[in-house]
Amino acid sequence: MKKLLMVIPLVLLLCFTFSCQKAEEVAEEGLTEEEVNVIMGDVLKVWNNADMEACDRVFSADYVEHDPMRGDTIGLDAFKEVLNSYYENYSSMDLSIHENFIKGNKVASLSTWKATHISGAEIELSVVVIMRIVDGKIAEVTYYYDSLKEAEQMGYKIIPPEKQEKK
């Protein structure tokens, strides 16, 4: 009887260990290159063609975006407002995706964003985008780009503060 009582916890521990390993293996498989290509195709339609149907297809309802210039945008409706402001303030936009790196449910994308502001300023930025995909939709995005370069291309000048004399 004592042997049986000692064997049961060991069996349970082994079952739990092997079932957890299988779950981790499935989770690590993540997104396929084909799935990411479909998602990124819709992203291009959203940015380059103002395609709101593609926006609904590719971004989740509880979408969150982190942008160094605008801060956080929370929710799909708020993101659509941001997109509309871009469409209103840029006479042309061209997003080009150069390469995607996939790990689990995350995608890092190297891209270039070119746009013409309604003021006539030409903007070209290299952008790194980190995306979290849930159930085939983009749930969260963090952008990394040179916001100083963007400001300079828009015509802003960076002027250092004047030195103050010591008293």
- 3-state SS of the chain is CHHHHHHHHHHHHHHHHHHHHHHHHHHHHCCCHHHHHHHHHHHHHHHHHCCHHHHHHHEEEEEEEEECCCEEEECHHHHHHHHHHHHHHEEEEEEEEEEEEEECCEEEEEEEEEEEECCCCEEEEEEEEEEEEECCEEEEEEEECCHHHHHHHCCCCCCCCCCCCCC
Give the CATH number, domain containing residue 119. 3.10.450.50
pLDDT digits (tens, 9 = 90+) for 94-129: 999 999 999 999 999 999 999 999 999 999 999 999
Question: What is the residue range of 59's domain?
Answer: 31-153
165 in a structural domain: no
Query: Count of domains in the chain?
Result: 1
63 in a structural domain: yes
4 in a structural domain: no
pLDDT digits (tens, 9 = 90+) for 34-88: 999 999 999 999 999 999 999 999 999 999 999 988 899 999 999 999 999 999 9
**pTM of the shown model:** 0.75
10 in a structural domain: no
